[in-house]
Amino acid sequence: MTAGTVAPNLAPLTTGPRRPVLTAAVFLVTLACGVAQLVHRPLYDHVVRDAARIDDGEWYRLITGMFFQDGWTAGLIVNLIWLAVVGTLAERVFGRARWLLLYFGCGLFGQFMSYIWLNPVGAGNSMCSAGLRPTLPTRHGPRLPTPTAPAAPARSVVGRTVLWQLGQSRRSPAARDSRSPAGGSW
């Protein structure tokens, strides 16, 4: 490789938008929501994904839950770093329209799956960022090892997001209720 060439798996980074405008905008909104949550703790109870309240018609919680953090200060810091790094790369690789679709599509999918099955009470933008991350190595970066047939669903963004959510549901058994297969009577 000469000084003027780019490795083939890094070439998409040179063609996308130069400035990660969407990543920066979502970063700032998430930061503002996180700081507001830390300053005024009762705010969290009004915006968190809560299955019982969503069932009562407060559907907006599926969206607001993507901007607040159930991990409080630590969750905010880690999720903002993750968003800055992965979001910037994904915006350069996929462009802004696909970034929006991946980030909020996977976020809504994760919120909905958590609402109906995995963890009915919670919040965080990690589901959104997690939707961006699995797409990068399989689309433009180093190839992941080819999974065996039983693991084939892990190749898709949705499959990886579901698998990630399943791993998250195991970390907080106290948060499960009767709607969760692992903690309920399904």
- pLDDT at position 139, please? 47
Say which CATH number the domain at 89 has: 1.20.1540.10
pLDDT at position 151 over 80: no
Q: How far is CA 106 from CA 4, 7, 46, 132, 153, in A?
A: 36, 29, 23, 8, 15
List b or e across 47-68, with b for residues whose CB sees 16 or more CB atoms inside 10 angstroms: bbbbbebbeeeeeebbebbbbb
User: What is the residue whose two structure tokens read 């669903």?
Assistant: 153
- Residue 156, in any domain of the structure: yes
Q: Is residue 163 part of a domain?
A: yes
| Residue 37: pLDDT band with limits 50, 70, 90 | very high
**Mean pLDDT of all residues in 10-21:** 66
pLDDT at site 165? 55
Between 22-26, 76-80, 117-121, 159-163, the lowest mean confidence (pLDDT) is in: 159-163
Q: What is the pLDDT of residue 125?
A: 85
pLDDT of residue 184: 41
Q: Does residue 64 belong to any structural domain of this protein?
A: yes
Say what the pLDDT of residue 84 is: 93
Q: Which two tokens stand for residue 154?
A: 């892990």
The DSSP bridge partners found for residue 121 are 50
- Is residue 8, in this structure, part of any structural domain at all? no
Distances (CA, A) of 37 to 30, 76, 98, 107, 156: 10, 10, 29, 20, 34
What is the model's pTM? 0.65
Structural domains of the chain, count: 1
What pLDDT, in 10s, does the model give residues 57-80? 999 999 998 999 888 899 899 999
What range defines the domain where residue 121 resides? Answer: 15-143+151-172
Q: Residue 8: CB partners within 8 Å, gap ≥ 6?
A: none
Q: Is residue 142's pLDDT more than 70?
A: no
Domain assignment present for 102: yes
Give a yes or no: residue 161 inside a domain.
yes
Q: Which residue has the tokens 């159930």?
A: 70
